A and B are shown apart, each in its own frame.
Chain A
Amino acid sequence: MSRRMVTAEPGAHPETRSTLLEVVDLKTRFRTDAGTVHAVDGVSFTLDRGRTLGVVGESGSGKTVLSRSVMGLLPSRNVEREGHVLYEGTDIIGFDQKRMSQVWGAEMAMVFQDPMTSLNPVMKIGNQITESLRFHLGVDKGEASATAVALLKSVGIPAAEQRLKEYPHQLSGGMRQRVTIAIALACGPKVLFADEPTTALDVTVQAQILDLLAEQQRERHMAMILVSHDLGVVAGRTDEIMVMYGGRVVEQAPTDVLFADVKMPYTEALLRSIPRIEHPSHARLEAIPGRPPKLISPPKGCNFAPRCRYAQPKCTEETPPLVAADDPRHLYRCWFPVGSAEGADALARNLADGTTVAYPTSPGSAPAAATPGTDGEGA
């Protein structure tokens, strides 16, 4: 077994809280016939070794493009990237594919949403695992397949030796996702991007896979970026959460701080729209009216304003900056934050008027969804 495969004791790391990955003002734009899509619009974050960052947002919020931009997995045609991606202090944003191939798998790896399409259907599972082992670590065939068996066992696949000779279609969805995790972990990456790793899976299997990721992360002292649309998935499993909307970070905080003190109306709205098991049945859900913003020529001002219960004229004029709350680690992007005097005033005004600055222009949505809920407190 190779040097990289040795799993480390968490305590054995002197550099436990050091920065592994730093992303500074990352912008990703797609040039299309219809115009330029600002898919990621100035995102910054740091990720320490062994820590987990959750990235949450609706479809089209830019969360997937963000993780692919950081890893340099986007096609070079029609894509512009700007900003810095510092991996262990080196800016990898200018790396060409040849240099990135030394990073992929060995330093950063990714688990994708749909295990059926991320596995090669005409290649045996064993070869898919040993491919990166042989490329990065230069081990011989025998050693590589011994490692592959160990990997499959570590991700909870029974009869690992036989599985090596099977094809992806012979496995269930949960087993396939275990295989993609084994592939991602093969060369001992220091950071794992998990892009909606359980969205295609059943709830019982989802729990198994999230447990597995957490366990492997602990054993390997690996950092992880967990991308999900489900706040429930990231709540119990991340150290920090970044909420994205329309390509921007709209709120970012340590997980417990975020849930205890939501500042951004969008985060509050997301939390309130989730059907909760503890609520009685037929409870009216607080839907967010309208839909996510277009990323081609985004509107002036806050891009959540058209759907926001707190929206005021100022919101459609000026883009709010990302500012810190009382806790300096808690950042949000709002003029009228939840839980503040301004926010309460804004909401009271809108509720009194029965409308906001933006609802009348929002097509196809039910403005009734903006009516007040039973409780005023978010989270």
Chain B
Amino acid sequence: MAGSGTAHLRPDADALLRAENLVVEFPIGSTGLKVNAVSDISLDVLPGETLGLVGESGSGKSTTGRALMQMPSPTSGRVTFDGRVLSELSGAELRKVRPEMQMIFQDPNSSLNPRRTVGDIVAEPLKIWNRGTAAEQRKLVDDALESVGIDADAARDRRPHQFSGGQCQRICIARALMLEPKLLICDEPVSALDVSVQAQILNLLQDLKAQHGLTMLFIAHDLAVVKNVSDRVAVMYLGKLCEVGTPEQLYDRPTHPYTAALLAAIPVPDPAVRPDGGTRLAGDPPSPVAPPSGCRFRTRCPMAQELCSQVEPTMREVSPGHHVACHFPLADLPAESADGPAAVADTPATDDGEA
């Protein structure tokens, strides 16, 4: 997977958000080592589209979201938002762009200041940007709270701890939408919530997206959740993109072995479907400090060949709009090497890398 390349990007003019060759590295003290959190990722989101970004913990999906927001700015790579190159803007210029891109985080309780009232929290973006008079601000706050399903009269003077996790997430959403952003980056917005509340929040996000004409980047580890909200899905592994496509393409015909393994690992709420140990991915992801050479997924990949350790695969098209970075994809593609896909398909599933 590991792949690089930009073959999956769409024409430059169309995208609201576009990242090319994004790299984020974190140096480890003075050791000279660095965490390769995001390594050469390119992605784009069209206006009104929801891009789902999935991957395991440590795959760099949150770091990608933050790098797009320029907090912190990526180590290298170019981020374009609505015609402006964010990575080249000064601090003051960047600040002016910020109201147009907002973020919702995973843990709603820790992203709300426990000592402030909900009314204050939601009004803060308006106060920072001096939008309207106090009365107008109050009206906007009330409207925003009502639009996310919170009773403004009851909530305004309360503090976050008096609300449940789902309600806190609604408050976070109200705050994020206060300045009418164009882009909303949601970083695991429902993973801390119960399944019943999760459905409420996902429905709410869909409604608000339609109402406000939002473009969304939706980061999550749950493939079913991502499928539910996304128009396009990108799968990440260890700082690289594996596969990009529409939910139908990706879920019905996964072509990257990692996508297939992720899909196979999802527990199905049906006792007739017995968990199948055969396609289980063994082991843990390797350390991003010293990622494997070539394809980064090769150490856990059931299809890995010699080529995978030497050459990093790049994005290529499987079908219109569906791209994969793999030397031996699970689909009939013109083979890049002598070992075609046919040979790959017969390869027995995982060897036990752990025991």
Contact = CB atoms under 8 A, between A and B. Distances in A.
A binds B: yes
B331 interface: no
A173 B354 CA distance: 15
B166 A274 contact: no
Contacts of B275: 207, 210-211, 214, 236-237
Contact of A230 (B195, B221, B273): B195
A211 B264 CA distance: 13
A207 B274 contact: no
A237 B273 CA distance: 10
Contacts, number: 165
B195 A202 contact: no
Interface stretch (A81-89, A142-150, A359-367): A359-367
Contact of B196 (A174, A214, A270, A283): A270
Interface centre among A58, A236, A275, by most B CB within 10 Å?
A275
A276 B266 CA distance: 10
B199 A285 contact: yes
A161 to B, nearest CB: 15
Interface stretch (B33-41, B113-121, B127-135, B278-286): B278-286
Interface centre among B149, B154, B223, B267, by most A CB within 10 Å?
B267
Interface in B35-66: 56-57
Contact of B203 (A276, A280, A281, A366): A366
A236 B275 CA distance: 6
Interface in A190-244: 202-208, 210-211, 214, 229-233, 235-237
B167 A204 contact: no
Interface centre among B251, B269, B282, by most A CB within 10 Å?
B269
Interface centre among B200, B272, B274, B354, by most A CB within 10 Å?
B200
Interface residues on A, range: 35 or more
A369 interface: yes
A58 B196 contact: yes
Interface residues on B, range: 35 or more
Contacts of A279: 227-228
A287 B269 contact: no
A275 B265 contact: no
A157 B265 CA distance: 20
Nearest to B232: A281
A236 B274 contact: yes
A89 B91 CA distance: 71
Interface centre among A173, A210, A235, A277, by most B CB within 10 Å?
A277
A134 interface: no
A363 B221 contact: no
Contact of A231 (B154, B200, B269, B272): B269
B271 A256 contact: yes
Contact of B268 (A211, A232, A369): A232
B267 A233 contact: yes
Given A202-B56, A232-B267, A277-B266, A208 B200 contact: no
A37 to B, nearest CB: 16
A116 interface: no
A23 interface: no
Contacts of B198: 273, 275
A275 B199 contact: yes
- Prevailing SS type, chain A contact patch: loop
A285 B227 CA distance: 12
A275 B202 contact: yes
B352 to A, nearest CB: 8
A136 interface: no
Nearest to B167: A364
A273 B199 contact: yes
Given A229-B195, A273-B199, A366-B203, A211 B277 contact: yes
B263 interface: yes
Contacts of A207: 264-265, 267, 275, 280-281
A232 B269 contact: yes
A244 to B, nearest CB: 13
Contacts of B274: 236
B262 A204 contact: yes
Contact of A59 (B194, B221, B269): B194
Given A235-B273, A259-B271, A282 B206 contact: yes
Contacts of B227: 275, 277, 279, 281
Contacts of B355: 153, 156, 158
Contacts of B154: 363
Contacts of B261: 204
B150 interface: yes
Nearest to A307: B196
Contacts of A363: 151, 154
B164 interface: yes
B199 A288 contact: yes
B196 A236 contact: no
A270 to B, nearest CB: 6
B267 A236 contact: yes
B313 interface: no
A284 B203 contact: yes
A363 B164 CA distance: 12
B196 A273 contact: yes
In the A-B complex, list the 3 residue pairs whose CB atoms are closest, starting with the nearest.
Answer: A232-B267, A287-B199, A285-B199
18 contacts: A58-B194, A58-B196, A153-B355, A156-B355, A205-B284, A206-B265, A207-B275, A211-B277, A214-B275, A232-B269, A235-B271, A277-B227, A277-B266, A280-B248, A282-B229, A289-B200, A291-B164, A365-B149
Given A287-B200, A291-B164, A366-B204, 7 more contacts: A172-B284, A175-B284, A204-B56, A235-B268, A274-B224, A275-B228, A276-B269
